[in-house]
Structure 1
């Protein structure tokens, strides 16, 4: 029976080609957009699920209690790994995960600023990353062996077999030779961790002093644990708490310090914990995209339904004849559902092909590596989507058509205005609700991102080039920072000779990276600690970035003491310290800082993204005295100098080539690694911009599909009143008057959909804007513009259909059958 239904269904769809084509286009586009969005959501939810032992894997968090509550940080002290290995090796597998950038090169080859991650040997056993060839370093004795990802191996060795080859890495003053002993797969697209070169973490002895490796308040990189032999997270936290008590002399200090665990499956979608090294996505984005996907496919289904009803006039006699010949309701319902299934199947196939075609564009837009490989989860999504479309889009039209009374349709007494007219108009209102909701959200998002892009950060950002200094060989932070500044100075001196260079400066950080130190100390007179950010700068930094000095003075080389013990703070830091006047005052710590004094206060400027409020910050020229007094120090990136260059040139590419030539003359094969500050800032908002772009595309798709739906309903209304139009034309009614008659009917529906969408879009955008510290006000202008778009869109389509009907000769409209 169903084979016969499908045969007849194919014939009917081919007979009504225009109806079939319009439905097919709407459903295909809807399926393509919805497939990409649902697959993206599923891809993000699947992060880190490929690890075989995922339920037992955790990221270790450093827990500190302060006057504002409990704070959890992913960055950990290196000593924790040593303590776990000595005391809990039988119950916990543990690995450091400490990424760094080093100069890496082949002998006599060009060098790269290359990411090198230091891990413990347990890393390779704990996680599900597959070794493709060779082995991995299992002990300190094998620390001269490294493992390369496929991408890194291709970068250095091309098509050659990398196993047994050597790379030179600058960890000390001399380039050290490391042998490639293993090849590992590239990190999967749904991995929170990424790597290119893996090195045994015993090499940390070369990078950091014994004091830094044994200090509980100096944190470098992440740490991951696998619990075994009955160990629970609660037991782990308690055992490590006992370690802290035994190692801290101050009981109060020990009570406010400890370690906790975060499930690996929770890491990618939890924005409550600082991201650290792992990639994190705001789950709110996934909810928004899921909602957009549902709205798009719903509007496509509504379009299918209204088109089917609009086509019912040409099918009414067919139904009458079939019923007269004995066909029952169930048979007719099955026949029309078969047509729905055919259209659904074809649109699903074309939609998936379209989604596959646009996948590279989608991945580029969303900065992801999603694949369409038809794994089980993707097949389930496609099956559910197909069933949803076939049933929701086909069920009501099938019932509607199968319910025609044969006597009425065969006597030509059928009125297409009978039946569920309110339901059909409600569906049209729902289409306009969805369209206007998406249009309003698009307008708000675009306006917000423009506000972020043009916001005055309180510091210069235009026409500034940032050059990364290659990591110097040094043991200890102070030595590393000083060497990187010394390295950068000759290049800065040469830049001053170029007429295109307006100004230069050297600092460890500014915008768009994680290179500000997070530090803290405890004042002897206070119970709670003082936490803030720290940047190492030269004497030109304040002037270079046009920071507004509101108290005191800037650094100057004319005063030698500025180099060693002076600092400049921002307004937030002055407020945190509770100082009325800052100039000449000193920071006091229970661990003495050494001589220091405040020489100036700058107006708050945004050195982090506009998702955060301005945090307290201090600028210093040398870290020696200050590091002695800090109780805690956290770094998410290497504290290496960057050279900032303010330029004025029409041909920036030619200028960059000139800068690179000067660099090579000074430093030989060391890599010239540059970027524009504005590009670095833009990277902070990639997720928000991607979401805005996707919602914009969804709004355009919804408008197109809704236009088809409105076209169907307008055709239905006009077809059922053709004789009325003919009579009105004979009686002297103008095209404008007839158009106004129909527009009144549809404008009511339009306004219902548009007006009901406004409070919903307002609430949704209020929630989305909560992520920003700087946000655009939700004024009436955006909602009035959405209202105007909906009204004009409705009037345009209905008027075009009405004008087309009025062009028909009235005698044809009034001719009796």
Structure 2
């Protein structure tokens, strides 16, 4: 019996090749996009869940009230580890995580930057990263031992066994040999914690003194805990106030400073301060992409449903004959659902192929390493999709056709519209509603991102190279920064006289969120003033084309400028200074200094953020002497900004590299373009815009295919009416308009609903920018006209052809 159902279903599908092909192509494209996005969402949700007992692992989250505002951060003091271990028996394992990098020496004598993670011995008990060489229980106990990943071992030792071999790292002011005692399997792509090398936490003494490491007000990296039971997190948080009072003593103020515990399953979605440079994904992005996938698949399902209803007249007599021959309601439903299932099955197979073809483009767009592995979870997603689409697309036609009365069908009394014309029109209108909603969202996003790209940031970004300068290792952070600056100035002087170089400057911060250091100092009234600082040298202002509105810049020729400062207009406005030159920073602890100039406001951060107060200095001592808060989230080494003066880029680059290797022998010459750094700030929203654009085009394609098929069915059912109208004198244009106006009204109805909704939906997205620009009304009008013209072309292409048929042929059987 089942075999017979499938045989009849296949015969019906081949009999109506056009409609089958449209359904197959539409569903395949929709499923291809849907499969890719659903697999991506599943991959993102799998982050950090491969660790054993992942539900017991939490990150320590800091909460501190500053000037009445609660600041939250995933950075926490190093002393947390020891204090928590003693105070909370609920903790089974705990480890700090501090990311750093130093110069490493390769076997061929060259140097490179080597990043590593400072952890303690509990790290390998906290996490389930597989160890492929070495004894797990004995790792990270010797200060000068390290673990490396397979990829790192290959880079340093090739195919040789790395165990027992050393890697030389420049720690502090001298090189140290670190013994490889273990090799970890390469870190999986769905791990938030990515690293190449693990080093014992004892090595923190190369980066900070004991006082700073044991302070509750100095944060270093993160702390991770593994609890004995998942419920213990709430218990520990309830005891936190007592604990904070105990450790802070007189400094304790209720509710002003405390810690909570954040599940590691949320680590990949946790954006915010002190996140350790983790590559995170906004959960809202997953919701948006999931919604896009659902809408695209839904449009394809609507095609299926509308065409099935449209073909109802052709299948009505088949249903009547089957019922007369004894077929019952359940058998007929099963027959129609079998046809829907077959189309869905073939579409799913084609969809998988389309998803595989789109995968490289998708990975490039989102900078991911997604692979379409077909494990139990993925197979479950595919089966669920198939069943849902079969029911969604085939259920209504199956129940509708199976419920027809055979006596009405066989006597020919069945109305061509079945009383369901409103549903069919509603589905077509809904398709265009979705399509226009996506198109309008795309227009808003493209317009906003174009406005961002064309916005004047207040400085010159074209033809500016950013050259990385190696840091000078030192136990003193200030000493390391000063000596690195001195090296940078030596290099800058070496290139300054060359004809290929226009200007050059030294800077710590370049461009981007968290690129400048965030500082704060107390005012006389007890409030806290927060600002940003950048340490600069050389012709920094000229290289970027920054404008001085008052005073002068910092000169390399004036020795006293080591204690001089520049500020921006926003800083001057914060203190309402009419003439800032000659003023002093309002804090009470700063070393002697003087403000010598004011820089015109410019955007040093992305346009998601407004312009903030900034101080520019040549030396860190003046600034560091009076602050009580310092947050460094990015670069700590100086960089050289170089403006190109020639059209021969190769010659320009050759000069820079030759002089670099003279000043920094054995170092890698690394550079980037400033404009690329600026563009990178908006990469996430650029990707989203491209994804919405692709989805809107796919939605329009699928909807237009459905409209094409539906118009063809409608015309096929009214050929005799067309013939009669022609005999009575109707023109081809009037017949085309008869069909066209119905679908134009449907399209217009969808647009009128989608237009205000798109503005409402995109309001939240566009509000994240400090600079906002909505599309003009003319842009929306052009978009509406484009969609209407598109609809008219599809409908008229068929209706006009039908109006040209000879009435004799359509009426000869009457």
Q: Taking structure 2 as the reference length, what is the TM-score of the superposition? A: 0.94
Residues in 2 aligned to 1:648 and 1:155: alpha-carbon distance in whole angstroms: 38
Matched-pair contact (CA < 8 Å) for 1:470–1:671: no
1:475 equivalent in structure 2: 475
**1:504-547 deviations in Å (ceiling 9; x for gaps):** 11111121364422221212x22221122211111422222222
Residues in 2 aligned to 1:85 and 1:515: alpha-carbon distance in whole angstroms: 35
Deviation at 1:806, TM superposition (A): 2.5
Matched-pair contact (CA < 8 Å) for 1:107–1:168: no
Q: How many residues align?
A: 811
Tell which deviates more after alignment, 640-649 or 40-49. Answer: 40-49
Residues in 2 aligned to 1:453 and 1:274: alpha-carbon distance in whole angstroms: 28
* Cα pair distance change 1:695/1:521, threshold 3 Å: same
Residues in 1 aligned to 2:487 and 2:82: alpha-carbon distance in whole angstroms: 34
Residues in 1 aligned to 2:775 and 2:754: alpha-carbon distance in whole angstroms: 15
| Residue 631 of structure 1, aligned match among 611, 628, 633 | 628
Deviation at 1:201, TM superposition (A): 1.7
Residues in 1 aligned to 2:251 and 2:560: alpha-carbon distance in whole angstroms: 34
Q: Say yes or no: does 1:797 pair with 2:794.
A: yes
* Cα pair distance change 1:273/1:4, threshold 3 Å: farther
Q: Secondary structure at the match of 1:629?
A: coil
1:234 equivalent in structure 2: 237
Deviation at 1:411, TM superposition (A): 5.3
Residues in 2 aligned to 1:654 and 1:732: alpha-carbon distance in whole angstroms: 78
Residues in 1 aligned to 2:329 and 2:457: alpha-carbon distance in whole angstroms: 68
Structural mapping, 1:336-485, within 5 Å = 336-407=336-407, 409-410=409-410, 414-485=414-485
Residues in 1 aligned to 2:623 and 2:508: alpha-carbon distance in whole angstroms: 16
Structural mapping, 1:29-428, within 5 Å = 29-84=29-84, 91=91, 93-135=93-135, 142-228=142-228, 232-235=235-238, 237-238=240-241, 240-242=243-245, 244-246=247-249, 256-271=256-271, 275-407=275-407, 409-410=409-410, 414-428=414-428
Structural mapping, 1:367-766, within 5 Å = 367-407=367-407, 409-410=409-410, 414-512=414-512, 514-523=514-523, 525-563=524-562, 565-589=563-587, 592-653=589-650, 655-766=652-763
Q: Secondary structure at the match of 2:49?
A: coil
Structure 1, unmatched stretches of 5+, are none
Residues in 1 aligned to 2:259 and 2:401: alpha-carbon distance in whole angstroms: 66
Matched-pair contact (CA < 8 Å) for 2:608–2:769: yes
Matched-pair contact (CA < 8 Å) for 2:221–2:274: no
Structure 2, unmatched stretches of 5+, are none
Matched-pair contact (CA < 8 Å) for 2:513–2:606: no
Q: Secondary structure at the match of 2:492?
A: helix
Residues in 2 aligned to 1:770 and 1:211: alpha-carbon distance in whole angstroms: 43
Matched-pair contact (CA < 8 Å) for 2:106–2:112: no
Deviation at 1:601, TM superposition (A): 2.1
Q: Secondary structure at the match of 2:418?
A: coil
* Cα pair distance change 1:239/1:507, threshold 3 Å: farther
Deviation at 1:751, TM superposition (A): 0.7
Deviation at 1:215, TM superposition (A): 4.2
Residues in 1 aligned to 2:300 and 2:421: alpha-carbon distance in whole angstroms: 19
* Cα pair distance change 1:699/1:651, threshold 3 Å: farther
* Cα pair distance change 1:576/1:85, threshold 3 Å: farther
Tell which deviates more after alignment, 528-537 or 771-780. Answer: 771-780
| Residue 806 of structure 2, aligned match among 806, 809, 813 | 809
Deviation at 1:245, TM superposition (A): 1.6
Q: Secondary structure at the match of 2:800?
A: helix
Q: Secondary structure at the match of 1:594?
A: coil
Matched-pair contact (CA < 8 Å) for 1:140–1:202: no
Residues in 2 aligned to 1:137 and 1:613: alpha-carbon distance in whole angstroms: 50
Residues in 1 aligned to 2:396 and 2:205: alpha-carbon distance in whole angstroms: 72
Deviation at 1:408, TM superposition (A): 5.0
* Cα pair distance change 1:389/1:469, threshold 3 Å: same
Structural mapping, 1:11-30, within 5 Å = 11-30=11-30
Deviation at 1:251, TM superposition (A): 5.6
Q: Secondary structure at the match of 1:537?
A: strand
Tell which deviates more after alignment, 11-20 or 667-676. Answer: 11-20
Deviation at 1:673, TM superposition (A): 1.6
Q: Secondary structure at the match of 2:739?
A: helix
Matched-pair contact (CA < 8 Å) for 1:576–1:616: yes
Matched-pair contact (CA < 8 Å) for 2:19–2:709: no
Residues in 1 aligned to 2:539 and 2:19: alpha-carbon distance in whole angstroms: 70
**1:102-154 deviations in Å (ceiling 9; x for gaps):** 22232333322222222222222112222222246968861221111233233
Residues in 1 aligned to 2:659 and 2:416: alpha-carbon distance in whole angstroms: 80
Q: Secondary structure at the match of 2:146?
A: strand
Matched-pair contact (CA < 8 Å) for 1:77–1:220: yes
Residues in 1 aligned to 2:585 and 2:105: alpha-carbon distance in whole angstroms: 44
Matched-pair contact (CA < 8 Å) for 2:92–2:225: yes
Q: Secondary structure at the match of 1:142?
A: coil
* Cα pair distance change 1:556/1:405, threshold 3 Å: same
Residues in 2 aligned to 1:61 and 1:390: alpha-carbon distance in whole angstroms: 46
Matched-pair contact (CA < 8 Å) for 1:363–1:369: yes
Residues in 1 aligned to 2:186 and 2:631: alpha-carbon distance in whole angstroms: 28
Tell which deviates more after alignment, 644-653 or 744-753. Answer: 644-653
Matched-pair contact (CA < 8 Å) for 1:100–1:116: yes
Coordinate RMSD, CA, aligned: 2.5
